[in-house]
Amino acid sequence: MKKFLWWGLSLCLCMGLQTTLFAQSNLPIHSSHQPLKYRIAFIDPRFQLTKEQLVEVSRQAAEIWQKETGKTYFIYDSQAQLSINLIYDDHQMLKDEQQNNLDALLQKQEAWRIKNEEIVLNKQQVTQLSSDLNKKKVSLKVEFEQYQQDVTRFNQGEHQYSNANNLKEWQKQLEQKSEELQNESNSLNFKIQSLNLKIKELNREQSDLSALKTQFKLKQKTSIQPFHKGLFSQNQIQIYGYASLNDLRLTLAHELGHALGLKHTTDPKSLMYPYLKEQDIHNFKLTDSDLDLLGSIYRPN
């Protein structure tokens, strides 16, 4: 008896479409109209899936065969011989590790994005402060030049333009304005220095992030290898990994098909096609190829 294999590719950074390969099942064809009973036997806790959840997914998988035919081919029975097991192996562990690494990478990237937005905002603020400060300097320069002209006229005896008390008060105001501008200039320089440090740190983080991306892609490339995603043999369905509950549902439906004795089809959209690639895992329906296989086994009495 040949063992049925469902091959899957390791998670890639782009999270692209996963291609899955099946090996041909060589189970004996039968024509029994009795529903096949199955049970949930073992779930590795590292899948973080409860028995109730798996029972529900398995029922959904069984319903795939029932919807298009109106016949019941599978019944859940806690005492059944056919058992379903979720086995957490090294490949699933690697897949989870890669997912954790990807999540961490995305978190770092999001943190970098937030910091970058803050720096862009700080740049805009510094630019505005610098522009306002320059305008104040120009205004103060013009006022100082006017003051100098009035002092000159006063010294030349043109008292009608001003008097000593007014010039002293004006001088005091100019000195105060000059001091305020100096304080603003110092504050602006501090902000610029702080901004430059943030930019330097952000550039370093960007470099580190790029290195992590390169390292992640390299690990993804070297770790891409086929693995046994699902296997039916001797009244047992072993599931070694899945990308989502919809993926698990279709995997179980395919394995249940082999439990019935079905072989593979040549229709890439069918459930019993050796590759999981073109099927609609979210809203799957049996194809004519699947129904033809089913009809060749469950012949009328």
- Give, for 294, the enclosing helix (H) or strand (E): helix 288-297
Q: Which of 78, 69, 67, 64 lies closest to 257 in space, CA to CA?
A: 64
In the numeric block, which tokens belong to residue 206?
Answer: 């960007």
Region 117-140: mean pLDDT is 94
Count CB neighbours of 163 within 10 A. Answer: 10
CB 159 within 8 A of CB 167: no
Q: Residue 16: is its pLDDT beyond 50?
A: no
How much is the pLDDT for 159?
63
Looking at per-residue pLDDT, the higher value among 219 and 165 belongs to: 165
Q: Is 31 exposed, middle or buried (0-12, 13-18, 19+ CB in 10 A)?
A: exposed
For residue range 234-273, what is the model confidence (pLDDT) as tens digits? Answer: 899 999 888 889 989 998 999 999 999 898 888 989 998 8
**Better-scored residue on pLDDT, 173 or 11:** 173
pLDDT (average), residues 91-103: 76
The pLDDT tens digits for 157-179 are 776 555 778 888 999 999 999 99
Is residue 84 scored above 90 in pLDDT?
yes
Q: What is the pLDDT of residue 18?
A: 42
pLDDT at 132: 94
Low-confidence winner among 101-105, 214-218, 236-240, 251-255 (lowest mean pLDDT): 214-218
How far, in Å, CA of 179 to CA of 181, rounded?
5
Q: Convert the pLDDT of each residue in 181-211 to its tens digit.
A: 999 999 999 999 999 999 999 999 888 888 8
Q: Report the amino acid identity of residue 65.
A: W
CA distances from residue 123 to 119, 126, 143, 200, 220 in whole angstroms, order as listed? 6, 5, 30, 14, 38
In whole angstroms, give the CA distance from residue 13 to residue 40.
33
Q: Average per-residue pLDDT in the chain? A: 82
Quick one: which H or E segment has residue 55? helix 51-67
pLDDT of residue 227: 46
Spatial CA neighbour of 293 closest among 266, 257, 262, 269: 262
pLDDT higher for 177 or 89?
177
Strand ranges, E, within the chain:
6-8, 20-22, 36-43, 74-76, 82-86, 227-228, 230-233, 236-239, 275-276
Encoded tokens for 88: 């957490």
pLDDT of residue 162: 55
- Reported as a single tens digit per residue, the pLDDT across 57-68 is 999 999 999 998
- Which two three-digit tokens encode residue 62? 């069984």
Residue 24 — pLDDT band, cuts 50, 70, 90?
very low
Reported as half-sphere exposure (CB side, CA atoms, 13 A), residue 102 has a value of 16
At residue 220, the pLDDT reads 64
